[in-house]
Structure 1
């Protein structure tokens, strides 16, 4: 699948389900304690580093963007779906939301203090993840932080044709192993400092992993 076709499919699918998605997806305050704790830890790290604003990439209807803002983090949202951005801007008019793609961010180099990718990279074909992670690295200031959260597995490739009220969609999900995701982040120049893996259960149907990483202040020395 080419970059263009995968983005078009995701854009059309999320535009289709946007209204039902907003109604069905929990707000961050309704999440489990560990998920809330990871968001709080990320917010604290970003504030302490004070390197710039946070971009919530794949922000959807803006619920997590607004949650970060409520924690005192200067945050804005970007999503490939214009309908999601429309709903986010209507719900949170004081915040900034724009349409864009993680593969080619319209953000200056080293402009961000933080990047949040919250359940927004699992639709990306694995061969394009290095492009996405390179954009994370490019836009982060030295000392900036990343929180990546999403579904993981053993390499499964899932296809979904209906979602969120049985709307027709074309969702492809790639559930990579946690070690592979960490490896790709490392190849992009990001240092993973913590991982949290949550197994299915307590309302979670799939394994979820959270990665906290940062962009070093100076290049990491090569291991011998």
Structure 2
């Protein structure tokens, strides 16, 4: 499966975020499976059990990482046969060049702008040369404090919206080649975006 777009300008698609993310996950699985396996954690699947479980069903030796111990406990209960670990994107405790592919959907939205280069530096370090990276994030030019989560649970976390060109520039600075950008849900108040990139050798 392939998704193609000109790297210089984001493709703008009315396709739903859910269907596009599923297609992106399948593409990521195909890319990961085409890489010889030499480490049990072949794909860093971001937060929660949903993307990790989906990739596992596609045949990928995958695991998930999240900053929240409560989220990890929930993922482990719902998917006891999969691997989940508590960890931080700003200080990934993974060996250099140990990951075949990396998927981070809507996890960068809580990272401040001045910390994003550090995160991308870790992504570059843990990916094997030529390994694919897929990012999903909110599109916009503002940050806001979120005080209520899903189900009405209280929380205090900032949500950062960014333009795809800015994220692509950070990736290039970190040593990635950006292959495609796609903007989703243009009819929504907060569109999303997906960027496909590869770690340069």
State the TM-score, normalized to the length of structure 1: 0.77
Aligned to 1:24: none
Distance in 2, Cα, partners of 1:150 & 1:48: 26
Equivalent residue in structure 2 for 1:171, among 157, 164, 188: 157
Picking from 106, 109, 115, the partner of 1:119 is: 106
**Residue 163 of structure 1, CA deviation:** 2.0
CA distance in 1, matches of 2:119, 2:197: 15
Q: Tell me if the contact between 2:17 and 2:184 (Cα under 8 Å) persists in the aligned partners.
A: no
Partner of 2:31: 45
Tell me if structure 2 keeps the 8 A contact 1:42–1:212. no
Q: Which has the higher contact order (CA 8 A, sep 6+)?
A: 2
Task: Flag structure 1 segments of 5+ consecutive residues without an equivalent.
Answer: 1-29, 219-224
Contact 2:63 2:84 (8 Å CA) reproduced: yes
Q: Is the 8 A contact 2:99 2:126 kept in 1?
A: yes
Spell out, residue by residue over 1:162-187, the C-alpha distance to the aligned partner (whole angstroms, 9 max, x if none). Answer: 12122211120111111000000110
Matched with 1:98 is 85
Alignment correspondent of 1:109: 96
Q: Partners of 2:98 and 2:18 in 1: how far apart?
A: 31
Q: Is 2:128 the partner of 1:141?
A: yes
Q: Given that residues 17 and 185 in structure 2 are in contact (C-alpha distance below 8 angstroms), is that contact kept between their aligned partners in structure 1?
A: no
Aligned residue pairs, count: 183
Give distance in 2, aligned partners of 1:98 and 1:37: 25
Q: Secondary structure at the match of 1:143?
A: coil
Contact 1:49 / 1:143 at 8 angstroms: preserved in 2? Answer: no
Shift of 1:31: 6.1
Show CA shifts across 1:27-47 (max 9, x none).
xxx963322211111211222
1:33 aligns with 2:19: yes
The Cα of 1:205 is off from its aligned counterpart by 4.1
RMSD: 1.6
- What residue ranges of structure 2 are gaps of 5+ in the alignment? 1-15
Q: 2:169 aligns with which of 163, 183, 202?
A: 183
Q: Report matched runs for 1:3-42 at 5 Å.
A: 32-42=18-28
TM-score (norm 2): 0.86
Alpha-carbon displacement from aligned partner over 1:174-216 (angstroms, at most 9, x marks no partner): 1111100000011010111111111333xx5411100111112
